[in-house]
A and B are shown apart, each in its own frame.
Chain A
Amino acid sequence: DIQMTQSPSSLSASVGDRITITCRASQSISGYLNWYQQKPGKGPRLLIFGASSLQGGVPSRFIGSGSGTDFTLTISSLQPEDFATYYCQQSHNTPYTFGQGTKLEIK
């Protein structure tokens, strides 16, 4: 199985901050990396697919980059609705696997 490791596991930040979450795959997954946002009691929301393609309807402050084994999700200017948990997920091979999540909290 491909292991996905996110860092940090949690992050405190303020509205307006720029933050970056890192996701590392245990082997190359080319660009088959997706990012999801999850709020309590809800299903995940797709933000980015194919490492850098913004899903329709997602604000442009969400930016994905990377390829191979190292990927990042950047939020350029945090808004109050962005405080949530973020997961990366690889779709290169089955079993599809997720990172352990990064909880973004208000400072």
Chain B
Amino acid sequence: QLQLQESGPGLVKPSETLSLTCTVSGASISGSGYYWDWIRQPPGKGLEWIGTVFYSGTAYYNPSLKSRLSMSVDTSKNQFSLKVKSVTAADTAVYFCANRTPYGSGSHWFYWGQGILVTVSS
């Protein structure tokens, strides 16, 4: 059973960098066919896909956030990470890490972390 757990600071100051880590258990992050994603949800609002990182370190991002994003993998710790720089109040959200499973030419998220609320405030 795959499990994911987000960790990181719950409060970040405006203009600083938000840094989160997702720890994966129950499977190797290096497993083939595994896509590791971040998704966020502002309080009371809908869901937004942030980006995907592969075990190789290759990442692709939502163009709306791309200029401020960085995602990476640490296979030795079975973790992947997200950094969002120059944050504003609009980045306040619950951040979820998730495992995306391909099917045909599509994919879906079955395994999710519990989510971590990150508030951007001085």
B47 interface contact, C-beta 8 A: yes
Q: Chain A's nearest CB lies how many Å from the CB of B52?
A: 8
Q: Pick from B22-30, B60-68, B79-87 the stretch touching chain A.
A: B60-68
Interface residues on B, range: 20 to 34
8 Å CB interface, B93-122 against A = 96, 98, 103-110, 112-115
Query: Which residue of B is nearest A49, CB measured?
Result: B108
A32 contacts B106, CB within 8 Å? Answer: yes
Q: Is B46 close to A, CB under 8 A? A: yes
- Residue A61 lies at the interface, judged by CB distance under 8 Å to chain B: no
The reply to whether A44 and B112 form a contact with Cβ atoms under 8 Å apart is yes
Check A43–B106 contact: CB distance below 8 A. Answer: no
Is B48 in contact with chain A by the CB < 8 A criterion?
yes
Residues of B within 8 A of A (CB): 46-49, 60, 62-64, 96, 98, 103-110, 112-115
12 interchain pairs (CB within 8 A)?
A1-B63, A34-B106, A44-B109, A46-B109, A49-B106, A87-B47, A89-B47, A89-B108, A94-B49, A95-B49, A98-B48, A101-B46
A-B pairs with lowest CB-CB distance, top 5: A32-B106, A43-B112, A91-B106, A96-B49, A49-B108
**Could you tell me which A residues sit within 8 Å of B by CB distance?**
1, 30-32, 34, 36, 42-44, 46, 49-50, 53, 55, 87, 89, 91-92, 94-101
